[in-house]
A and B are shown apart, each in its own frame.
Chain A
């Protein structure tokens, strides 16, 4: 079974609107971490936001927030007020295992922001 599933290969959003990128995960561990990374066309991996499995509140970082629904095993990324510079590939990832040594990525969602 896939550890991380991102079901939206590509998405379009109008500039200044909000967009939600979906992510579901699969783990039997009680302790794990969920991450979102952004990969612009230049190729580097940029860390956006982190949610711990024991965190009761949804994580927020500026225009990014993580909608964490533990019972549904989902960790959707919400980007508010989209900007043209948000056009990129977005990866959901999970870290689990002894000392969090295993790291799993989804297949990614390509976001295009339209002016």
Chain B
């Protein structure tokens, strides 16, 4: 089954304790991206990757790190989480767009993070 998986699904942690949210896709997608969803703000792009070892910042990258060492995996790292990073996080993947077109993203189930 084609899917994007995220782990953990729920996480409660304390300020400053490093954490990693994993993301994996089995569709051989080149493009992967992380988003955070906050009430009234929709989803905002944190980081994206267009292929292995190619990553770049989205709109809200502060406080986050990513790496893309394998095509299927794109972990999100919070080295020193703060309460303002409490949010619902989504990982997504897609094929890279061809000229004149764009592919929809497939989303993971989400990770609800609470930082106290």
Contacts and interface: CB of A to CB of B under 8 A. Distances in A.
Contacts of B45: 102-104
Given A43-B88, A43-B110, A101-B48, A91 B104 contact: no
**Count class of interface residues, chain A:** 20 to 34
A102 B97 contact: no
B101 A52 contact: yes
B104 A50 contact: yes
Interface in B95-110: 96-97, 99-107, 109-110
A108 B96 contact: no
A12 interface: no
Contact of A31 (B35, B40, B88, B99): B99
B100 A52 contact: yes
Contact of A32 (B42, B88, B102): B102
Contact of B102 (A6, A43, A100, A104): A100
B11 interface: no
A6 B101 CA distance: 23
A45 interface: yes
B31 interface: yes
Given A99-B50, A106-B42, A54 B100 contact: yes
B43 interface: yes
B45 to A, nearest CB: 5
Interface of B: 31, 33, 35, 40-45, 48, 50, 56, 58-59, 88, 90, 92, 96-97, 99-107, 109-110
26 contacts: A9-B40, A31-B99, A33-B97, A37-B107, A43-B88, A43-B109, A44-B107, A45-B92, A45-B107, A47-B104, A47-B106, A50-B104, A52-B100, A52-B102, A91-B42, A100-B96, A100-B103, A101-B48, A102-B48, A103-B35, A103-B58, A103-B92, A105-B35, A105-B42, A105-B43, A107-B41
